[in-house]
């Protein structure tokens, strides 16, 4: 089996072609090759708004889309996890680009590790307001409308939904960093009793965290990717283990 190397990024919140993060991300993507990377994980909120398969979003982020498409064509396995700002991605990112789209968590065997990946917006089961909004935005009627309504209307609705999501999540993110890290770690430990993995990777809360704990004598590691508002970086996972690398 060839050596595996995976890279993970989340919470870039790219706003458009004029966003410096968009240029930086595109440049970084173009530096990835099938010779040095086997898996690319986009762990949600890559864009500050992307809903459905409308041309508006494709044309706004042409360079990013083209760079990711080139990686898929080169044989790199691309996995895109929907966040709370990028939703209903299947028809574009899976059907047209060839990425694997995940609405919820998924597990993978990479470089000798069993890895659970999720956006991270379910870490607080007591946040009933956000959980209701999340369910509503992902409901069958909203999924249908996301693809059928005129793109200008989708953009307007998406911006309002994104703003509502930001209001809900900003309250959580306003908590002390220690409290947010405690939520991340509690969630990781709870999930480790429900599924078998030795590494869980998530984002969403914009707080980078790296925590190890034992479950039945097995070491499990929880890593939260943070966001690109503080430090643009990627998590790298290969035979040497997992580590952050600045971009």
Indicate the burial class of 114 (C-beta count within 10 angstroms; 0-12, 13-18, 19 or more). middle
pLDDT of residue 79: 98
Per-residue pLDDT, 151: 63
Contact predicate 101/93, CB 8 Å:
yes
Could you report the per-residue pLDDT of 208-223, keeping only the tens digit for each?
999 999 998 999 999 9
Is the pLDDT score of 54 beyond 90? Answer: no
What pLDDT is recorded for position 166?
57
CB-hemisphere CA count at 13 Å for 185?
A: 13
Residue 109: the pLDDT is: 97
Find, among 2, 8, 3, 1, the residue nearest to 221 by Cα: 8
- Check pLDDT > 90 for residue 22: yes
Q: How many CA atoms lie within 13 A of 93 on its CB side?
A: 30
Is 3.60.21.10 the CATH classification of the domain at 6-246?
yes
Domain ranges in the chain? 6-246
């Amino acid at each position: 089996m060839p050596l595996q190397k995976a890279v993970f990024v989340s919470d870039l919140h790219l706003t458009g072609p004029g966003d410096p993060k968009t240029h930086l991300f595109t440049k970084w993507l173009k530096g990835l090759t099938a010779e040095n990377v086997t898996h690319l994980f986009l762990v949600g909120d890559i864009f500050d708004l992307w809903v459905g398969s409308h041309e508006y979003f494709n044309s706004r982020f042409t360079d990013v889309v083209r760079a990711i498409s080139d990686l898929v064509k080169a044989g790199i396995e691309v996995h895109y996890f929907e966040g709370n700002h990028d939703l209903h991605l299947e028809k574009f990112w899976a059907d047209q680009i060839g990425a694997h789209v995940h609405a919820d968590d998924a597990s993978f065997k990479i470089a000798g590790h069993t890895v659970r990946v999720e956006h991270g917006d379910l870490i607080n089961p007591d946040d009933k307001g956000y959980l209701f909004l999340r369910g509503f935005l992902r409901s069958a009627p909203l999924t249908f409308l996301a693809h059928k309504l005129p793109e200008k209307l989708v953009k307007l609705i998406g911006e309002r939904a994104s703003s509502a999501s930001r209001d809900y999540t900003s309250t959580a993110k306003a908590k002390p960093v220690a409290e947010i890290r405690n939520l991340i770690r509690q969630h990781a430990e709870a999930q480790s009793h429900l599924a078998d993995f030795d590494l869980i990777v998530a984002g969403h809360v914009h707080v980078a965290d790296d925590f190890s704990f034992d479950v039945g004598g097995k070491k499990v590691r929880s890593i939260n990717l943070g966001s690109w508002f503080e430090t643009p970086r990627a998590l790298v996972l290969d035979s040497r283990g997992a580590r952050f690398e600045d971009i």
